[in-house]
Amino acid sequence: MTPKQRALTIVIGSMLAATTTTIGFIWWDRGAPPGFKPTLVDVSIAEINRNHRGVRVHGMARHDVKIKQTNSDDPTDIAYVFPLVPADNLNSTYIRVMVRTTQKPDDMATIEEMTIEGLARPPGLLVNKEIIESWQNKGYDFDPKFVLIEHFTD
């Protein structure tokens, strides 16, 4: 093997390894290859955890606090964040599930029934301290391992 062939093999091999690793990580993180939705599993708010990927959850969306997030790169990219509480316990102030969606909630509603299909994951930086404090100021408590569902919008 000549030095040029060896260098070309190393460059192409490195690019292939980096691409395969990236696709593999995204597949593991989302539960589906990039560009695809994971298989949806019906779960209740009480049994959802951070090990789930694609979920379908039914509950009541609380809009007591109107939270809107904008992307600094694109001001037209707006997401809304709100908790989902069990439908059989409307007055629950314990938050186990937060939803992040690009669909604007009804301005007049403070509570609405919803079935959310999305990707369950740890909240990370998407649910920051200010969001948590604004809900805590309204009398809500957060589960230490609450889950964020990033709503699939078609």
pLDDT band at 125 (very low <50, low <70, confident <90, very high): confident
At residue 76, the pLDDT reads 75
At residue 17, the pLDDT reads 93
- Give the residue among 150, 142, 85, 138 at the shortest CA–CA distance from 114: 85
Residue with token string 């979920």? 55
- Give the residue among 21, 20, 27 at the shortest CA–CA distance from 53: 27
pLDDT band at 154 (very low <50, low <70, confident <90, very high): low
φ/ψ region of 124 (left if φ > 0, alpha if ψ in -120 to 50, else beta) reads left
Per-residue CA distances from 30 to 24, 54, 84, 137 (Å): 10, 8, 21, 33
At residue 37, the pLDDT reads 83
At residue 67, the pLDDT reads 86
Q: Does residue 70 or residue 140 have the better pLDDT?
A: 140
pLDDT higher than 80, residue 72: no
Q: Does residue 32 or residue 18 have the better pLDDT?
A: 18
pLDDT higher than 80, residue 152: yes
Identify whether the C-beta of residue 122 lies closer than 8 Å to the C-beta of residue 144.
no
At residue 30, the pLDDT reads 74
* Mean pLDDT of the 40-54 span: 90
Which residues sit opposite 98 in a β-bridge? 83, 148
Cβ-in-10-Å burial (0-12, 13-18, 19+) of 18 comes to exposed
At residue 92, the pLDDT reads 85
